[in-house]
């Protein structure tokens, strides 16, 4: 891939979208806290699926019994409308290739079919260890690294619901138009995701823009709580994403033809989430909902300036 990306993602269009988002957020209000339905825009549902469930289905974690999905193959976990795949054969996909880094041909692996956990993502070693077929997910950053199982192009398949009707049937909730950084604990499936651009849904209409929203929950519960999936729209290629693989990185694509640029939260913030969850606080999500977290305190620039060492 090269300069053809400028035709697919014209700089003028990228700038226009960024400006529109910035202007919309100028009028935003702090996001409310509490349990509420969340409608996730096309392209972002797969982002959430990638982080909350995809990592837990990588076979190195399955083999170490370090995933919430260990032993779940063949069991119904999600709503029967839910289907999720990892597909390295998508033409032009950021995670596509002819062969993985062990020489296994690229293939399409169904992770969830009608809500049933159907398969894991394997390299050659874990495939033998778990008596599973090699799925072509042995990946590494360079020849100097050892291949390990990692995702390629991860998608939530389209459903049959009208997007406008999904909004119309939601009396009160959050419309997450764009997701930002997030992280997941594969052992429990618990995740936290920042909402870059979000709006309240009131009486079936998208209304006030909100800021500071965080989606908190766990992968299996979210997959089980799916209430609607939009019908297939126009496909769009995504920007690249570097997937962390134990001090390695590999390109992949996620979400209904869309992608997320994940970041690691600072240790202090991670500890805050862990403490609240451990105490059963307001951020704990039950099976059928995703919660919003209260926005954190404003960034204290003066404190940082005081810490700068001057000559």
pLDDT by residue (tens digit) across 88-143? 999 888 899 999 999 999 999 999 999 999 999 999 999 999 999 999 999 998 98
Percent of the chain's residues with pLDDT above 90: 50
Query: Which helix (H) or strand (E) covers residue 223, if one does?
Result: helix 219-224
Q: What is the pLDDT of residue 35?
A: 87
Mean per-residue pLDDT of the chain: 78
Please, which residues have CB within 8 angstroms of residue 53's CB and are 6 or more apart in sequence? 69, 84, 111, 112, 189, 219, 220, 222, 223
Counting every residue written for the chain, the total comes to 311
- Cα separation of 6 and 3, whole Å? 6
- Read off the pLDDT of residues 215-263 as tens digits, 9 standing for 90 and up: 999 999 999 999 888 886 423 323 333 343 333 444 434 333 222 223 3
- Cα separation of 263 and 253, whole Å? 16
The structure tokens listed for 221 are 């519960």
Q: What is the pLDDT of residue 9?
A: 83
- Cα separation of 81 and 252, whole Å? 25
Neighbours of 287 (CB within 10 A): 11
Q: What is the pLDDT of residue 158?
A: 87
Q: What is the pLDDT of residue 21?
A: 87
Mean pLDDT of 159-179: 91
This prediction has a pTM of: 0.72
């Amino acid at each position: 891939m090269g300069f053809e990306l400028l035709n697919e993602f014209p700089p003028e269009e990228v700038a226009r979208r960024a400006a529109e988002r910035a202007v919309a957020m100028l009028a935003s209000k702090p996001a409310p806290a509490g349990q509420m339905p969340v409608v996730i825009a096309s392209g972002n549902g797969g982002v959430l699926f990638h982080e909350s469930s995809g990592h837990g289905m990588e076979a190195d974690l399955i083999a170490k019994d370090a995933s919430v999905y260990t032993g779940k193959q063949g069991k119904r976990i999600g709503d029967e409308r839910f289907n999720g795949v990892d597909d390295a054969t998508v033409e032009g996909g950021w995670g596509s290739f002819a062969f993985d880094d062990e020489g296994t041909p690229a293939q399409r692996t169904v992770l969830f079919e009608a809500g049933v956990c159907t398969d894991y993502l394997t390299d050659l070693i874990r495939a033998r260890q778990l008596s599973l077929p090699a799925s072509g997910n042995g990946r590494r950053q360079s020849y100097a690294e050892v291949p390990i199982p990692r995702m390629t192009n991860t998608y939530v398949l389209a459903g049959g619901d009208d997007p406008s009707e999904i909004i119309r049937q939601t009396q009160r909730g959050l419309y997450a138009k764009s997701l930002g950084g997030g992280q997941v604990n594969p052992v429990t499936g618990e995740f936290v995701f920042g909402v870059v651009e979000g709006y309240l849904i009131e009486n079936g209409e998208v209304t006030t823009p909100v800021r500071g929203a965080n989606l908190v929950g766990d992968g299996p519960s979210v997959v089980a709580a799916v209430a609607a999936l939009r019908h297939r729209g126009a496909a769009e290629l995504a920007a690249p994403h570097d997937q962390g693989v134990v001090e390695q990185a590999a390109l992949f694509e996620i979400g209904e033809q869309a992608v997320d640029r994940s970041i690691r939260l600072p240790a202090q913030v991670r500890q805050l989430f862990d403490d609240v969850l451990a105490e059963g606080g307001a951020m704990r999500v039950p099976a059928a909902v995703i919660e919003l977290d209260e926005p954190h305190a404003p960034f204290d620039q003066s404190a940082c300036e005081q810490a700068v060492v001057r000559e």
